[in-house]
Amino acid sequence: MVLVVFILLSILIGWVVPQVLVPRLPGRVAVLVASLVALLLGAGAVWVGAQVFDGLGVEAADSAFSRGFNAWKIMLLVAPASALQARRQLEKEQR
Protein backbone atom coordinates (compact mmCIF):
# COMPACT_ATOMS: atom_id res chain seq x y z
CA MET A 1 0.00 0.00 0.00
CA VAL A 2 2.79 2.41 0.89
CA LEU A 3 4.53 1.90 -2.44
CA VAL A 4 1.30 2.42 -4.40
CA VAL A 5 0.63 5.70 -2.58
CA PHE A 6 4.15 6.94 -3.31
CA ILE A 7 3.95 5.90 -6.97
CA LEU A 8 0.68 7.76 -7.46
CA LEU A 9 2.00 10.80 -5.59
CA SER A 10 5.19 10.84 -7.66
CA ILE A 11 3.32 10.61 -10.95
CA LEU A 12 0.89 13.33 -9.87
CA ILE A 13 3.61 15.76 -8.77
CA GLY A 14 5.81 14.91 -11.74
CA TRP A 15 3.02 15.71 -14.19
CA VAL A 16 1.17 18.63 -12.58
CA VAL A 17 4.06 20.81 -11.39
CA PRO A 18 5.75 21.18 -14.81
CA GLN A 19 2.36 21.72 -16.49
CA VAL A 20 1.72 24.63 -14.12
CA LEU A 21 5.22 26.14 -14.10
CA VAL A 22 6.33 26.00 -17.74
CA PRO A 23 3.78 28.54 -19.04
CA ARG A 24 4.73 30.91 -16.21
CA LEU A 25 8.51 30.76 -16.62
CA PRO A 26 10.36 32.64 -19.38
CA GLY A 27 12.45 31.10 -22.11
CA ARG A 28 14.05 27.76 -22.59
CA VAL A 29 15.11 27.54 -18.97
CA ALA A 30 11.47 26.80 -18.06
CA VAL A 31 11.77 23.09 -18.80
CA LEU A 32 14.84 22.63 -16.62
CA VAL A 33 13.55 24.75 -13.75
CA ALA A 34 10.09 23.14 -13.77
CA SER A 35 11.63 19.67 -13.79
CA LEU A 36 13.95 20.47 -10.91
CA VAL A 37 11.16 22.04 -8.86
CA ALA A 38 9.01 18.95 -9.42
CA LEU A 39 11.85 16.66 -8.36
CA LEU A 40 12.51 18.68 -5.21
CA LEU A 41 8.83 18.83 -4.31
CA GLY A 42 8.59 15.10 -4.90
CA ALA A 43 11.53 14.40 -2.62
CA GLY A 44 9.96 16.54 0.08
CA ALA A 45 6.63 14.77 -0.35
CA VAL A 46 8.35 11.39 0.02
CA TRP A 47 10.03 12.48 3.24
CA VAL A 48 6.79 13.91 4.67
CA GLY A 49 4.88 10.82 3.55
CA ALA A 50 7.39 8.56 5.28
CA GLN A 51 6.95 10.53 8.49
CA VAL A 52 3.16 10.32 8.18
CA PHE A 53 3.23 6.56 7.63
CA ASP A 54 5.53 6.20 10.63
CA GLY A 55 3.25 8.37 12.76
CA LEU A 56 0.21 6.33 11.77
CA GLY A 57 2.06 3.13 12.61
CA VAL A 58 1.72 1.73 9.10
CA GLU A 59 5.45 1.34 8.44
CA ALA A 60 8.74 2.54 9.91
CA ALA A 61 9.92 5.88 8.54
CA ASP A 62 13.18 4.55 7.11
CA SER A 63 11.45 1.68 5.32
CA ALA A 64 8.68 3.95 4.01
CA PHE A 65 11.26 6.48 2.81
CA SER A 66 13.14 3.73 0.99
CA ARG A 67 9.96 2.66 -0.78
CA GLY A 68 9.10 6.28 -1.50
CA PHE A 69 12.54 6.96 -2.93
CA ASN A 70 12.14 4.02 -5.30
CA ALA A 71 8.80 5.44 -6.43
CA TRP A 72 10.33 8.93 -6.71
CA LYS A 73 12.66 7.63 -9.42
CA ILE A 74 9.64 7.53 -11.74
CA MET A 75 9.68 11.32 -11.67
CA LEU A 76 13.10 11.30 -13.32
CA LEU A 77 11.19 10.39 -16.47
CA VAL A 78 7.77 11.92 -15.86
CA ALA A 79 8.77 15.48 -14.88
CA PRO A 80 10.99 16.27 -17.89
CA ALA A 81 8.50 14.64 -20.26
CA SER A 82 5.68 16.72 -18.80
CA ALA A 83 7.75 19.91 -18.99
CA LEU A 84 8.70 19.27 -22.61
CA GLN A 85 5.09 18.53 -23.51
CA ALA A 86 3.93 21.75 -21.85
CA ARG A 87 6.64 23.71 -23.69
CA ARG A 88 5.63 22.24 -27.05
CA GLN A 89 1.98 22.98 -26.36
CA LEU A 90 2.86 26.56 -25.44
CA GLU A 91 4.88 27.03 -28.64
CA LYS A 92 2.05 25.51 -30.67
CA GLU A 93 -0.46 27.97 -29.16
CA GLN A 94 1.82 30.95 -29.85
CA ARG A 95 1.95 30.25 -33.59
Domain ranges of the chain: 2-89
Average pLDDT (23-52) is: 94
> Distance of CA 58 to CAs 3, 4, 51, 64, Å?
12, 14, 10, 9
Section 27-40 average pLDDT:
93
pLDDT (0 to 100) of residue 33:
96
In this structure, how many other beta carbons lie within 10 angstroms of the beta carbon of residue 2?
A: 18
pLDDT digit string, tens, across residues 40-56: 999 999 999 999 999 99
| 85, amino acid identity | Q
